[in-house]
Amino acid sequence: MEFENIKFDITDQVATITLNKPGRLNACSLDMADDINNAMDHLGDARVLVLTGEGKGFCSGADLQGSRDSEISGGQGSYKALTRHYNPMLLKLHKLNIPTISAVNGPAAGVGCSIGLAPDFVIASEKAYFLQAFVNIGLVPDGGASWMLTRLVGKARATEMMMLGEKLPAAKALEWGAIHKVVEPDALMDEAMSLARRLACGPTISLGIMRKNLTEALECDYATALLREAEGQRIAGDSADAREGALSFLQKRKSEFKGN
């Protein structure tokens, strides 16, 4: 399947979405947000999703000069753009039942910061940085940043990022616990795809349940978390992969998970 604003590929059960407006550092227009959203409806047999950007940037933020720029000008336009385009895309990414990875190859600013930090594993190039630039233009963070950053780095550091509007280099993001790994630029996609292949060979049903439980645990009490784990174990325990895991353990061999 081909899209105008992104590249979309599924190879060996690894889906890759590449933001593809390198001349604008992959600024995310309404159409690009819709393309990402639509691509996630066509993951087929993919067992992991990788997000990255073409060229020197990951995503420089919302595209204020896109073909539909009049729709996102002013407060009411921004509200419509977020609630009708960016937020649905980010919610769908959040609710996927397969692991997600971002390979952040350069600047991830504005809503691009949220897109870059949303996946389960964030691998960043040494040249990458994350930026909440909204305060510099008299706006407020969006794309779920206020929810996401407080959970990733804590309130004090989230406040620093949002109210001071300064770049957070990849190395500092790693130190703060916001991302998984920092690598040399030339090694970025190799690292991301190596991790993707590892996850794609894992027990997909249990990984999806883990993803859901990790997110929901941020919002619930201990007793509810215990119950959700028990419910998840009931589903995972009846899967073919769980039976394979038990059999391979008894036979002292490596498990061959099929994702079902």
Residue 176 DSSP SS3: coil
**Are 4 and 39 a contacting pair, CB within 8 Å?**
no
Please report which confidence band the pLDDT of residue 75 belongs to, taking 50, 70 and 90 as the band edges. confident
Amino acid in position 162:
M
For residue 107 the two structure tokens come to 């600047």
Cα gap 180→13, rounded to integer Å: 22
Please report which confidence band the pLDDT of residue 23 belongs to, taking 50, 70 and 90 as the band edges. very high
Cα gap 132→229, rounded to integer Å: 35
Q: CA dist 225 to 95, 99, 149, 150, 247, Å? A: 18, 20, 22, 20, 29
CA dihedral for 64, 51, 89, 145, sign (positive or negative): negative
Please give the pLDDT value at position 242.
86
Cα gap 225→220, rounded to integer Å: 6
> In this model, does residue 69 exceed pLDDT 60?
no
Its pTM stands at: 0.93
Please give the pLDDT value at position 252.
87
Cα gap 54→119, rounded to integer Å: 18
Please report which confidence band the pLDDT of residue 248 belongs to, taking 50, 70 and 90 as the band edges. confident
87-112 pLDDT tens trace: 999 999 999 999 999 999 999 999 99
Share the mean pLDDT of the chain. Answer: 93
Of 133, 144, 143, 142, give the one whose Cα is nearest residue 168.
133
Residues ≥6 apart with Cβ < 8 Å to 75: none
